[in-house]
Amino acid sequence: MRKERLAVAHSIANELIPYEQELDAAIIRNAKLTMAIIDGRRRARAPLTIAQRSLENVALANVRLIEARNLIHEAHYDLREAQYEIGLGAVSYGDYGDTPPPPPAVMRHETRHAVDA
């Protein structure tokens, strides 16, 4: 059972970690696009109103990307909690520095199971 749970956890981590990295990359790409639009307008000596709607849409896309990033972070946190609940709390999946710490209640839950075993 533990072996199967570990395999499932690794398959989830293999999707989650690259997804988090891709969201960060998309936010960076969006920032570069914003800079290119503004710089391009300046270099073209175009009025401020040129590409204004495009700039607004790119800014809105950035907000949505950041919202998505936050939702995925929350999902990561919830998955981390589930990891403790199924007895895999000590397992690392290669997401160094990005893994949210377990909440104190989960730590107590994990400790209780360790003592009961």
Dihedral sign computed on CA atoms, order 75, 81, 87, 89 = positive
- Spell out the domain ranges in the chain: 2-116
**Residue 112 pLDDT exceeds 50:** no
Cβ-based neighbours of 8, under 8 Å, separated by 6 or more: none
**Residue 82 pLDDT exceeds 60:** yes
Tell me the pLDDT band of 5, cut-offs 50, 70 and 90: confident
Read off the pLDDT of residues 22-62 as tens digits, 9 standing for 90 and up: 999 999 999 999 999 999 999 999 999 999 999 999 999 99
